[in-house]
Each structure stands twice: as C-alpha cells, then as structure tokens.
C-alpha cells in the first residue's frame, strides 16, 4: 500500500522541515520526504496550498470507556480525534472502574484493539480508585503497558503519598501527570474567584488552589527526580512557578488546553455550562500569561482535556453541571486562531507543541515525519474559516465551549498508519 | 408615563438589572408610578393583562415576593397559578427546563421564577419562548426588589443621580445587593457596600462601589441605607463570629442614626430580623420606609409584568 502526498507545505519541526515537499508512505510507514516524488501510489493526495504536519498527539483525553459509554467510547472518541487531525491520544484513567489494576488495563486494551480509530495509549491511576488513599501497583501497571500515571480529576492531598508515588514512578521510569488542585481551597467553587464569581453569584475557585499545588508537585518532583508533567495550566502564577523550576533544571513539563488561551472568564457571563471547566476559565491577564508561557517554552504541550458529558449533565443549573468541554475536534483550529493568527506561535512552533513535544514527553515514537516513522499525518487548510456547530460532532457528546465560534484552520485529511481515516 | 408612551420594550425576559439600560429602567419606574396610583383607588384593578396567565414558579420558600407578584398580576386582571417546588431534590425529578417547557405547553404567558441556583432564570429564559421574570436566583439578582428600592428612593428624594446609598450586610450572598448595585450605578448614584471582610465578595469594587468595614463611615454621607437580612444559619457563615458581635459592629440602631444625615432613608428588603441587623426602634421609626417598599413592590411588579407581556417576539 502506497500513499503519496504531493506539493504540501510540510511542517515537521522534529526534522527541521518547513517547506513544500512530497511525502511517500509505504505499508503504514513514511518512506520518503523530499521534493518531486514521482511514483505510482494507491492513493495520491494533492496537498497544494495545504499544510502537512505530523498527526496531533493529544496527551489529555477522556474516552470514558469503560463505564460511561453514554458520554463517549473508544470508538466515538477516536472518531472525534480523527476529525480533529489527532492520531494519538492518551486515555485518562478516571473511568468506571478507574484504570488502577492490570485487569482493567487488559480489558481496555482489548477494547482499543477492537474499536480504536487512532493510536490510544493508556494512562494508569496513581492511587486505587483515584481516591488518594492507597497507591496502585505501579510496576504492574507499567508491565501491562501504561505509559504514564495520573489521578487526573483529583490531586493527591497527602504529601507523603505523593512522595511515595514519585519515587515509585522514578523507579519504573514512568511519567507522572499532575492534576494540581488543592480542593480545600477550590471547595464547591465553579468559576474563577473574583469579579466573575461575584457578578454571577457563584462560588469561586481561587488561583491559589492551582498554583500552590503546582508548586508542591514541582518541589517533590525536584527532590525525587521523577518526570513530572503539570496538566491544564490555567493561570499566570502557575506559569511563573514552572518557568522558574525549568530555569533551575527541574525535570518538569507542562501543558495547557485551548480554552485557557482561547477563552476567559468573561465569556461565561451568560452561564454557559459548556464553559464550566476545571480549572476554571481565568482572567484576560491569565490568558496572556498562558500565551506567553507557550511562546517562551515554559509550557511545552497543547492538549485538549477532551471531557465529554451528556446533555442531561450540562443543560442544567450552572452549579450542578459537570465540569469539562470536548476539545478533540476543535483544538487545532483554536490554536491556529488564537496562537498562530495572533503571532504568539509560528506554525512550526504550534506543530511542536501539539504533535512533537507531547510525543517526546510521553516517550512514544510519534510526532515526526521522518523515514521509518508511522505515517500519522494531518493535512490542514490553514486559512479556511468555519463555525463550530453543535450539530455534526463526531464525539458522542456536544459540550464544546467553542460552539458558535468562528475558527480558522480546517482539517482536510487525517492519515493514521498510512491510511486515510478522515476526509473533510 | 405620558412622555414615555412611545417608548418600546424589547426584552422578552427580565433576568437582571445588569442586562437593562438606564432607559429601560426609567420606563419601568415611570410605568410603576402610574400603577402606584391605581393602588389607592377604590377599585384597584385594570384590564391590562386580561386573558393572560402568570405562573409563579417558586423553588424557594418565599411569601412576600410571591404574594407581591400574585397581587400585581391580579391587579392587572391576569390569571395566576402558584407552583411551589421542593428544591432539596434538584437532581431528582423534572429538570427546570422541562418544567418550564411544560408550563409553556400549558399556554401560560409569563413565568415568574424564584430559584436557589444563580443563573437559573437565565437558563429558563433561553429555553422557553414565553417570558421569564426573575424573582430571585441564588446570589445573582433580584431585579424587582432593586426596582422597588429605586422606585421608593426616587419617590422620596425625587432623584437617583448623585444619591449616596449604602448597602449594609451580607453582600457576598445577596442578590438584592447585586441588583441594587447594577441599577443604582446606571443612574449615577454612589453606592457603598458595608460588611465584615468575609461578606464582601472579591472584585466587587469593579462594579463601581465603595467598600467599607466601618458602619459609621457607611452612614456618614448616606442619603439612604439598605439593610440586608442576615442569615447566620447558612454554611458559609461558619467562619463568622456571632450574631451579637455582628449587631454590635453593624446593627442599625438609633444611636448610629443620630450621627447620620438627618432624614436618612432606611430600607430593608424583608423579612426583617429585629435585633439582628436592625433595631426595632429603627425598623418602626420615622426614617424607615420598609412598609412603603412593600406597597411600591406591587406597582413595580405590575410595571414589569405589563412591559414583559408587551415585548415584541
């Protein structure tokens, strides 16, 4: 099976390529990236005026299977991924049951083998049932194939237990992804604490609940020497703490989600529950700080934090609605609109944040288009504008914070292991 | 009302004073002025809403607001239906949207909703085509209360612009405070909020109010004072000293009033806690307009019901 992509603007920061080239893939692998490839292929795609990039590696995705198949499944979630130009996802462990034992991982692996449309990697839980009480058998999880551990959705309150987890993770050479939140401060809050919580009459979540825990997680990371990754950075203070730690040489990486650089707290003044996310949308200044953090490489990764929920869980009173927005199908376009168009990042830098860096953080052989690599490719119309519509999501859920937004940048093709899995 | 006769009202719903212009509010207050006259007549009824149905949908126990809306609707010849819903079982049973759509299917014209969740009226307004009037949602807004406060102030002083109004009490959890701030500041009144620190919500200075923790300072320049009901039983009050302590530091007493401007207007949205936030002497005294507020509330709600029912679809 040969696939030939002609005349595309290939952006592959992993190989320092940023020019018009052709790409040939054979039997699922990239075989050649050069100018003027002239061979007979089973599929030929004319990518003139389009950007050809390594498929997106989204390291923060809630596929909800097993347990909440009414929100999303491996099948529907990876369909949504394909539609969004995403070819690898890291499935977070807050499922029912949690991904906290070899048995559950085996079950999930089988489902992935049978139904996944893109590459699905598994993130195991740090503690049993993600309750922050008792460590999982981290060595067993690793043996069963998880590539990272996290209690995402929860933070481990006990410093002692977190310390143990990091030592264990270091031994097993596993990445620890931190949902950094001090719930004694965030409490029953639902929006950013400040003028917005006051104006809406809702309980607030202070930034301290995030950055105080970011600071702890980084301190423990430094001491333990484990690889720590801070998930969904939303505020300026967190960015600054991570910046300082990196300068000091701490092994820490960080990620943010499109809603933290594309939306701010003022966008939810009409109680739009799709914008109810955790951490909450912050101030305009925080948005600028997050963008600055992306620009100066304090924040390494853009990941969607794709969090599907049913309408029953969202079309209710704001304080009762679930936290989370879907994101797989909009993350690239939001990034193009809010970062590339605003000249925060170049296209090449964006590809780094959304494809190359997450692959490196996860230590998976993805995110570049070099010969011999998996032919995971996204082809993009960079200037095409479209409006996010509630109708037409591939995801089972429709709770996108960006519904109604006009975005720039449209996925034309998604190719996974040399096969076209999505075509606009 | 004569000069505003040509004015138009474009809002299907009344969700909060944040969403109204000064002109909108002026129209409501002027209209309330003429309805206020009707309340003094022998026959206190006009046919403005004849054939219309108003549903009072209350998820929180409330006597005065509910009755006030009921009286207002009846004075306008509307049919009134009261629905009281147990709010403790929010996640069980019918959703607010479904209840709203059912009321719409019953061919009611206006839903007056009181709910313990902030934003509940906004959500309902988005989801039904008939009019929604917010009778208080969580800590968010209570627009008709603020309108009646403003109506009372305007009636007493002849103006709102430049008026110094101090709101005293639990600002953090008060929808009355928020609606008053939105409404009064749109007219150029100078609003001060006065409370212990933990009852001042963060960022409120951005709503163009002055903040003080000193009651004498709040009373000093005030032309009027709006005393909020204190609810010590709520969970969020755990960190709060004591009821007695509060009365000592913030209670509105005769001694304190003596140091204030002569003729200072004392308002309270009710129900009053005598001896908790206000002394009986003040509540019943010459400066108090608390009962006038209740009467004015009917006129204001008549105006709101009237204009909302006139809204262009």
Residue that terminates a domain, selected from A313, A336, A362 = A362
Same domain, A45 and A61: no
**Domain shared by A297 and A153, yes or no:** yes
Q: Residue with structure tokens 């996925």?
A: A411
A189 part of a folded domain: yes
Give the model's pLDDT for residue B92.
63
Same domain, A305 and A405: no
- CB contact, 8 Å: B95 with chain A? yes
A388 and A311: one domain? no
B142 an active-site residue? yes
Taking alpha carbons only, the member of A211, A209, A206 closest to residue A238 is A211
> Which residue, among A50, A5, A12, has the nearest Cα to A359 in the 3D structure?
A12
Which chain B residues have a beta carbon less than 8 Å from that of A195?
202-204, 206-207
| Residue percentage of chain A with pLDDT more than 90 | 100
The tokens describing A227, both together, are 């690889």
pLDDT at residue A287, rounded to an integer: 98
Task: For residue A39, give its domain range.
Answer: 2-51+375-423
Q: What percent of chain B has pLDDT over 90?
A: 85
Instruction: Verify that A223 and A137 share a domain, yes or no.
Output: yes
- Say yes or no for a CB contact (<8 Å) between A195 and B207: yes
In this structure, the answer to whether residues A325 and A381 fall within a common structural domain is no
The residue among A198, A205, A265, A283 with the most chain B CBs within 10 A of its CB, best to mutate, is A198
Q: Is the pLDDT of residue A74 over 80?
A: yes
How many CB pairs (< 8 A) connect A and B?
Answer: 74
Question: Last residue of some domain: A309, A327, A362?
Answer: A362
- The helix or strand, by DSSP H or E, that contains position B213, with its residue range, turns out to be none
A218 in the same domain as A302: yes
Find the mean pLDDT for residues A83-110. 98
Per-residue pLDDT tens digits for A283-327: 999 999 999 999 999 999 999 999 999 999 999 999 999 999 999
Whether A159 and A243 share a structural domain: yes
Q: What is the pLDDT of residue B6?
A: 53
Is B92 in the active site?
yes
- Does A369 map to a domain? no
| CA separation, residue A396 to residues A275, A308, B1, B175 (Å) | 18, 8, 54, 37
Which of A195, A201, A270 has its CB closest to that of B203?
A195
What phi-psi label fits residue A405: left (phi over 0), alpha (psi between -120 and 50 degrees) or beta? beta
Residues A343, A387 share a domain:
no
Domains of chain B, first to last: 2-141+294-310 (3.40.50.1370), 143-291 (3.40.50.1370)
Which CATH number belongs to the domain containing residue A214 in this structure?
Answer: 3.20.20.140
E strands, chain B, where? 53-58, 79-84, 110-115, 131-137, 164-168, 190-194, 209-212, 224-227, 265-267
Beta strands in A183-312 (DSSP E): 191-192, 204-205, 228-230, 252-256, 301-302
User: In this structure, is residue A310 part of a structural domain?
Assistant: yes
Considering the domain boundaries, does residue A322 fall inside one? Answer: yes
* CB-CB under 8 Å, A198 with B201: yes
B259 is catalytic: no
Examine residue A370 and state whether it is found in any structural domain, yes or no: no
Shortest Cα–Cα distance, A18 to chain B (Å): 46
Q: How many domains does chain A have?
A: 2
Instruction: Point out the catalytic residue in the list B31, B53, B65, B212.
Output: B65
Q: Give residue B4's pLDDT.
A: 47
Query: In this complex, do A320 and B90 lie within 8 Å of one another by their Cβ atoms?
Result: yes
> Which residue of chain B has the CA closest to A205?
B202
Task: Please tell me whether residues A255 and A134 are part of one structural domain.
Answer: yes
Same domain, A59 and A30: no
Give the pLDDT band of residue B3 (cuts 50, 70, 90).
Answer: very low
Beta strands across the sheet bearing B53-58: B79-84, B53-58, B110-115, B131-137
Q: What is the model's pLDDT at position B91? A: 55
- Asked whether residue A237 is domain-assigned, the answer is yes
Q: How many Cα neighbours within 13 Å face the side chain of A88?
A: 28
Q: Which of A52, A55, A40, A53 is nearest to A4 (CA)?
A: A40
pLDDT digits (tens, 9 = 90+) for B187-229: 999 999 999 998 999 999 999 999 999 999 999 999 999 999 9
Query: Which residues in A lie closer than 8 A to residue B96 (C-beta atoms)?
Result: 316-317
ipTM beyond cut 0.90: yes
Q: Are residues A182 and A85 in the same domain?
A: yes
Say if A109 falls within a structural domain: yes
Any idea what the CATH number is for the domain that residue A19 is in?
Answer: 2.30.40.10
* pTM, rounded to two decimals: 0.95
Contact B164, B222 (CB under 8 A): yes
Residue A367 lies in a domain: no
Nearest CA in chain B to A204: B202
Three-state DSSP at A53 gives: strand
Q: Pick from B279, B285, B197, B213: which is nearest to B249 by CA?
A: B213
CA distance B115 to chain A (A): 10
Collapsing DSSP to helix, strand or coil, B267 comes out as strand
């Amino acid at each position: 099976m040969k696939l030939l992509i002609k005349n595309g603007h290939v952006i592959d920061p992993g190989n320092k390529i940023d020019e018009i080239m052709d790409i040939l893939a054979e039997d699922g692998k990239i075989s050649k990236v050069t100018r003027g490839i002239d061979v007979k292929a089973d599929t030929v795609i004319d990518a003139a005026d389009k950007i050809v990039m390594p498929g997106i590696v989204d390291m923060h995705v809630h596929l909800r299977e097993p347990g909440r198949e009414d929100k999303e499944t491996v099948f529907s979630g990876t369909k949504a991924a394909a539609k969004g130009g995403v070819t690898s996802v890291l499935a977070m462990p807050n499922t029912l049951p949690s991904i906290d034992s070899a048995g559950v991982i085996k079950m999930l692996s089988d489902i992935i083998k049978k139904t996944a449309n893109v590459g699905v990697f598994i993130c195991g839980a740090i503690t049993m049932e993600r309750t922050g009480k008792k460590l999982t058998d981290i060595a067993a999880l690793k043996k069963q194939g998880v590539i990272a551990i996290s209690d995402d959705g929860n933070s481990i309150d006990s410093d002692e237990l977190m310390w143990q987890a990091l030592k264990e993770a270091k031994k097993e050479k596993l990445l620890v992804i931190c949902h950094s939140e001090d719930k004694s401060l965030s409490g029953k809050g639902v929006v950013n604490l400040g003028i917005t919580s006051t104006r809406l009459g809702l309980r607030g979540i202070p930034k301290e609940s995030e950055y105080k825990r970011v600071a702890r997680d980084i301190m423990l990371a430094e001491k333990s020497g484990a690889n720590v990754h801070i998930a969904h950075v939303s505020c300026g203070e967190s960015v600054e703490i991570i910046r300082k730690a990196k300068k000091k040489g701490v092994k820490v990486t960080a990620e943010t989600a499109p809603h933290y650089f594309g939306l701010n707290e003022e966008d939810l003044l009409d109680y739009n529950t799709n914008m109810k996310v955790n951490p909450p949308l912050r101030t305009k200044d925080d948005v600028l700080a997050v963008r600055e953090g992306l620009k100066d490489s304090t924040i390494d990764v853009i990941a969607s934090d794709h969090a599907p929920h049913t309408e029953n869980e969202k079309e209710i009173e704001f304080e009762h609605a679930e936290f989370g927005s879907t994101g797989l199908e909009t993350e690239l376009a939001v990034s193009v609109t809010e970062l590339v168009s605003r000249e925060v990042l170049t296209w090449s830098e964006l590809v780094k944040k959304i494809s190359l860096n997450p692959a490196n953080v996860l230590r998976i052989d993805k995110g570049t288009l070099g010969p011999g690599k998996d032919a995971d490719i996204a082809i993009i119309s960079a200037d095409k504008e479209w409006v996010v519509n509630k109708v037409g999501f591939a995801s089972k859920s429709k709770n996108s914070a960006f519904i109604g937004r006009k975005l720039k940048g449209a996925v034309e093709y998604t190719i996974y292991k040399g096969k076209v899995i999505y075509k606009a | 009302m004569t000069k505003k006769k040509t004015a138009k009202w474009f809002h299907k719903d009344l969700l909060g004073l944040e969403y109204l212009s000064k002109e909108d509010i002026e129209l409501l207050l002027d209209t309330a002025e003429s309805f206020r006259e009707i309340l003094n007549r022998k026959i206190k009824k006009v046919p403005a809403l004849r054939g219309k149905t108003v549903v009072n949908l209350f998820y929180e126990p409330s006597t005065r607001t509910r009755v006030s809306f009921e009286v207002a609707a009846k004075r306008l010849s509307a049919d009134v239906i009261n629905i009281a819903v147990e709010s403790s079982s929010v996640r069980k049973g019918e959703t607010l949207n479904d209840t709203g759509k059912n009321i719409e299917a019953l061919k009611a014209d206006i839903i007056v909703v009181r709910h313990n969740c902030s934003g509940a009226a906004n959500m309902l307004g988005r989801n039904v085509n008939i009019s929604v009037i917010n009778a208080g949602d969580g800590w968010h807004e209570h627009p008709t209360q603020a309108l009646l406060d403003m109506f009372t102030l305007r009636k007493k002083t002849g103006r709102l612009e430049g008026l110094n109004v101090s709101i005293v009490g639990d600002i953090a959890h008060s929808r009355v405070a928020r609606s008053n701030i939105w409404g009064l500041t749109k007219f150029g009144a100078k609003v001060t909020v006065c409370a212990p620190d933990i009852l001042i919500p963060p960022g409120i200075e951005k709503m163009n109010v002055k903040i003080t923790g000193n009651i004498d300072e709040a009373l000093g320049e005030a032309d009027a004072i709006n005393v909020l009901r204190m609810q010590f039983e709520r969970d969020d009050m755990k960190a709060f000293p004591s009821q007695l302590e509060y009365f000592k530091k913030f209670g509105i007493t005769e001694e304190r009033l003596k140091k204030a401007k002569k003729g200072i207007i004392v308002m309270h949205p009710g129900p009053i806690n005598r001896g908790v936030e206000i002394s009986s002497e003040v509540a019943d005294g010459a400066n108090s307009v608390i009962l006038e507020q209740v009467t004015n509330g009917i006129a204001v709600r008549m105006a709101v019901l009237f204009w909302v029912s006139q809204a262009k679809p």
